[in-house]
Chain A
Amino acid sequence: QVQLVESGGGVVQPGRSLRLSCAASGLTVNNYVMHWVRQAPGKGLEWVAVIATDGIDKMYADSVKGRFTISRDNSRNTLYLEMNRIRPEDAAIYYCAREGPHGSGRCGYFDYWGQGTPVTVSS
């Protein structure tokens, strides 16, 4: 049974850093394209970042490019999101998600999601 469990969220000051983790079970993260998606309070879902199976190809939403880094540790079967220079608009629940098997070749949909970890930005 696939399970994704996010952690690492909390209250952070603007300009500071935070690292989110997503521990996987029932799947091997390096065998799948993995994503981070977020939902700001009262808003809809927003895609944040993706890491390919090779661990090298990564892409980011324009809103986080240059500040966030997606990575994974195969030995720990864990996905990460390093968040730097955090802004108030980064406050959200952050979800990790597995990409499903029938994507377009350019991107895909998300067939398994974690329950999310909340990030609050406050001085």
Chain B
Amino acid sequence: DIQMTQSPSTLSASVGDRVTITCRASQSINNWLAWYQHKPGVAPKLLIYGASSLESGVPPRFSGSGSGAEFTLTISSLQPDDFATYYCQQYNNYSPTFGQGTKVEIK
């Protein structure tokens, strides 16, 4: 299986901050990477697919970049609704795998 490693595991930030989360794959996954936002008791929400394509309806303050084995999710100006856990997921092979998650907390 392809291992996905996110950093940091926890991030403390304030409203208005620019936030960057990194996701590294154990091998190249081309651009086959998605990002999700997850809050307790709520269905996970797709933010980004194809490493940089913004899902319909997702605010443009979210952006994704990277290719090969290193990727980033950036929130340009953190909003109160953005405090949540974020996961990356690779879909390069038949067994999709997720990163361990990055919890974005209020500073």
A residues bordering B, Cβ < 8 Å?
Answer: 4, 44-47, 59, 61, 95, 97, 100, 102-104, 106-116
What's the interface size class on B, roughly?
A: 20 to 34
Inter-chain contact total with CB atoms closer than 8 Å: 74
B residues bordering A, Cβ < 8 Å?
Answer: 30, 32, 34, 36, 38, 41-46, 49-50, 53, 55, 87, 89, 91-101
Q: How far is the CA of A67 from the CA of B46 in the complex (A)?
A: 29
Nearest first, the 6 A-B pairs at minimum CB distance are A109-B34, A113-B43, A107-B91, A45-B98, A104-B32, A44-B101
Interface of A is mostly: loop
CB–CB A45/B89 < 8 A: yes
Identity of the chain B residue whose Cβ is nearest the Cβ of A107 in the assembled complex: B91
Interchain nearest-CB distance for B54 vs A (Å): 12
Q: How far is the CA of A44 from the CA of B38 in the complex (A)?
A: 10
